[in-house]
Structure 1
Amino acid sequence: MLQFLEKIARTALVAVASIGLFVLSCSRQKSAPKWQPQNSGVTASFRGLSAASSNVAWVTGTQGTVLRTIDGGESWQKSAVPGADSLDFRDVEAFDTKTALLMSAGTGEASRIYRTDDGGQSWQLLYTNTLANGFFDGMAFWDREHGMLYGDPIDGKMFVMTTADGGFTWQRVPPDALPEMNAGEYGFAASGTGIAVSDTASVWIGTGGAAARVFYSHDRGQNWAVAETPLISGEASTGIFSIAFADAQNGIVVGGDYQQPNATTATVARSTDGGQSWQLVESGAPVSFRSAVAYLPGTGGPQLVAVGSHGASYSTDGGATWIDLGEAGYHALSIDPDGKSIWAAGGEGRIAKLTGFGRKVIDEVERKVNQMMDDGKGKDD
C-alpha cells in the first residue's frame, strides 16, 4: 500500500512539475522552445524527414538529395542515389542507422521507391510507377516489414499499395475496396505525412483540393471508410496536408491554403473516435498554414509540434491551443520514437532541431522529482 501511494505521489509531482515547466518556458523567453539551425551544406528544398533515434535522422528533397546524421546533427553526410539527380524525394522512412526507404514524387516513372541497408553507400531501386497519371504522395510503416503507400487517384479511386517485406515488393489495394474520390480531390506530397498509422493495423490518409476528407482503414487496407473534415477546401491549394494519430482513437489534421499561408481559417481539426468524425479547432492562438504535424511520443497525446512554410507552433493540450514558435518556415517534421529529438526541414537546405521541448525536458523533470522523493524518504527514515 505504501509503495502504491508513493507511486501516486511521484506521478502527481511529475505532472505538476511538467505543467509548471511549460508555463515557465512560455513566460521566460530564454527558456522557451526554440529552433537550433543545422548546417546541411546543401541548397535543396527538403520535404522528406525521418528520425530513427535521438541521434539518427534522414532528410531528403529535390535534385535527388539525401542526407543523414548519426550524431544528433553535429554533422550531415550526403548520399548519392544512382540515376536520381532529377528526382524529388518527398518522403523517407528510416528504420535505423543503416536502413531507410526513399519515395520520389512525380508523374509517371518519376515516382519511385528505393532502399538502402548500408547507410546510403548503395541503393536498390525497388519499384517504379508505370501508370502514366500515377503520382506518389507518401508512405508510412507499422513496423520494419509492413507499410503502405498512397498516391493521387487513378480513374476516381485513390492509388494505394501495401508491402509486407520492408518495401521489396508491393501489392496494389484493389480499387473496388476504396471509396470514390470527388472530382478534383487528391493528396498532397508536401511532407510525407499525409498518411498516418497506429497500433498494428489502422491507417488514415488526408486529402485536399475539392474536398478535405480522411480515408481510413482498421485492417491494413482491406476495408475502407471516408469521413468529412471541416478544414478549408474547394481550391487546388487547400485541404489536409498532414495527419497524425496519438493512438487508435485520437488524431489531428492540419493544412490550410498554401497560396495564402498566413490565413488562419479552418486549418486544424481533431478526432477522438478513430477518424470517424472531426471537430474544428477554433479557440486558442490562431494557426496559419501547416504542412506537417506530429505528436510527442510518451505524452499520451497532449503535446504536438506543427510546421509550415511561414511558421511553426507547439501545443501542450492535444491541439486545442497553440503557442507560436516563430516565423521560420519548414516543410517537414519528424520526432524520434523516444521523443528526444524533434527535427524540421524546409527550403534552401534548412534543417533545424527544436530545443527546450520534448522527452529530454520531461525526463529531467522526472529525474528531479524522483530525487526529491528519495531525499525526503531518506530523511523520514
Structure 2
Amino acid sequence: MKKILPFLFSFLGIFSFSQQIESFETILNDKISIRALEIYDNKVWYSGTDSKFGFVDLKNPKNQKQIRLSEKKLQFRTLAQDKSSFYAINIESPAEFFKIDKKSLTSKIVFTDTVKTAFYDALHFVNDQVAYTFSDSDKNNQLKLAVFRNGKWSMFKNNISLNEGEAAFAASNTNIASSKNYLWIATGGKASRILRMNLKDEKFEIFTTPFVQGESSQGMYSIDFSDDKFGIAVGGDYTKQDANINNIATTNDGGKTWQIQASGKNAGYTTCVKIKPNSKGQEIISVGDQHISYSSDFGKTWKKISDEKGFFVCEWVDKNTVVFAGNGKVSLMKLKF
C-alpha cells in the first residue's frame, strides 16, 4: 500500500493539472523571435526579428500572412494599434516608427529617432488618439518618451531623471500600462520604480518598489492594471531563471505602494503578465522563458500550469483562451475553469 499511494497521488496531480488546459496547439512555426502581440479581427498579429510582421487567424490557423517591413534585418519588440493602423518600432538606432495600414498591410516610416542610444522598450495606446512609447535614456539619464497625438509622433518634453543604471526591458512590450486616468511605466536594473502619469495633466509621480533590483538584469519586466487602483508587476533576473524572490508584486492604490507576493513560491523569472478581462484582477496569466503560470487570487499565489519553454509574451483572446508567442512560435491555449 505504501508503494501504491505515492503513485496514486502522482496520478491525481497529473489528472488535476490536465483539467486546467483543454488544448494547447502551436499555430505558427517560423524562424523568428516574437516579443509583441496584438489581437484584431479575430487574428493574432505579431512583430519580430528579421523585420517580420504578420498575422495568424485564430479560427483558421492556415489563414496566415507574413511580410517584411524593411529590407534591413530589423528587430521589432513593440507593436500597438489604433482603429486603422498598426505601429511598430525597431530597437536599433536609428529607431524607425512604422505605420501599417490594417486593410492593405502597406507600411511607411512616419517618425525616426536618430540618437545613438535610442532603444524603444514598449509602445502603448491609451486610447485611439494617444499613444506613448518609452526608450532607453541618453547619457543625461532623462526619461525619454515619444507621444502620438493628432496623428503625429513627437518627443515628450519632461524633467524626470532616472537613476544611474535604471532602464527598462523590451521583453514583451508590457512595461507600460494604462487605465482611464493613469499611465504607468515600470523601470528595472539598478533601480526598479513605477512612474505614474496623470493622463489629464500629463504630470508624473515616481514611486519606489520592494521589487528585486540592483543589478542590470533585475527588476520589473511587465505590468498590468485592471483599473485605476489594482495592478500587478512581474519580473526577476533573466540571468537567473529559477530565482523567485521578490519578483512578483501587486498594488491596490494605483502604484503608490507595492506588496510582494509569492516570494520563493513561484516559477521564477517572468517576462509578461496579463489580467483576465472582466476579472477585476482576480485571475491572471503570466509567462516566462521556462513556464506558464496562473493565479486566481489577485496574484497572491501561483500555479505553474505548463513547463513549455521559449515563450516571452501572452495575451487574452477571450475569457477561456490565451495566445502565447516567443522563440520560433505562436501557440494557442484553451483553458477550463
| TM-score, normalised by the number of residues in structure 1 | 0.79
In structure 2, what is the Cα distance between the partners aligned to 1:141 and 1:271?
Answer: 22
Per the TM alignment, residue 273 of structure 1 is displaced from its structure 2 partner at its CA by: 0.3
Structure-2 separation of matches of 1:221 and 1:63: 39
- What is the DSSP-based 3-state SS (H/G/I as helix, E as strand, rest coil) of the residue aligned with 1:351? strand
Higher strand share: 2
List aligned pairs for 1:331-370, cutoff 5 A. Answer: 331-336=312-317, 338-339=318-319, 341-347=321-327, 349-357=328-336
Closer/same/farther in 2, CA of residues 173 and 35 from structure 1, 3 Å limit: farther
Partner of 2:182: 202
Q: Secondary structure at the match of 2:152?
A: coil
Aligned to 1:45, the other structure's residue is in SS state: strand
Pairing partner for 1:42 from 12, 30, 39: 30
Q: Is the 8 A contact 1:51 1:94 kept in 2?
A: no
1:189 is the counterpart of 2:176: no
**Stretches of structure 2 lacking an aligned partner (at least 5 in a row):** 1-11
Corresponding position of 2:5? none
Listed as ranges, the matches of 1:1-381 within 5 Å are 28-33=16-21, 36-52=24-40, 55-72=42-59, 74-75=61-62, 77-95=64-82, 99-106=85-92, 108-109=93-94, 111-119=95-103, 121-154=105-138, 155-165=140-150, 168-176=151-159, 178=160, 180-199=161-180, 201-219=181-199, 222-282=202-262, 285-329=265-309, 330-336=311-317, 338-339=318-319, 341-347=321-327, 349-357=328-336
Q: CA RMSD in A?
A: 2.3
**Larger Cα-atom Rg:** 1
Deviations 1:179-237 (A, max 9, x none): x21101101111100111111x4111111110111111122672101111111111111
Q: Percent identity?
A: 25
Query: Deviations for 1:271-315, whole angstroms, at most 9, x for unmatched residues?
Result: 000001111113694230000001011112101100011111011
**Deviation at residue 253 of structure 1 after TM alignment:** 0.5
Contact 2:172–2:312 (CA under 8 A) maintained in structure 1? yes
Tell me the distance in 1 between the aligned counterparts of 2:230 and 2:187: 18
TM-score normalised according to structure 2 size? 0.89
Give the superposition deviation at 1:162: 1.4
**Count of residue pairs the alignment pairs up:** 324
- Alpha-carbon distance in 2 for matches of 1:289, 1:127: 34
Aligned residue type for 2:87: L
Which consecutive residues of structure 1, in runs of 5 or more, have no partner in the other structure? 1-23, 362-381
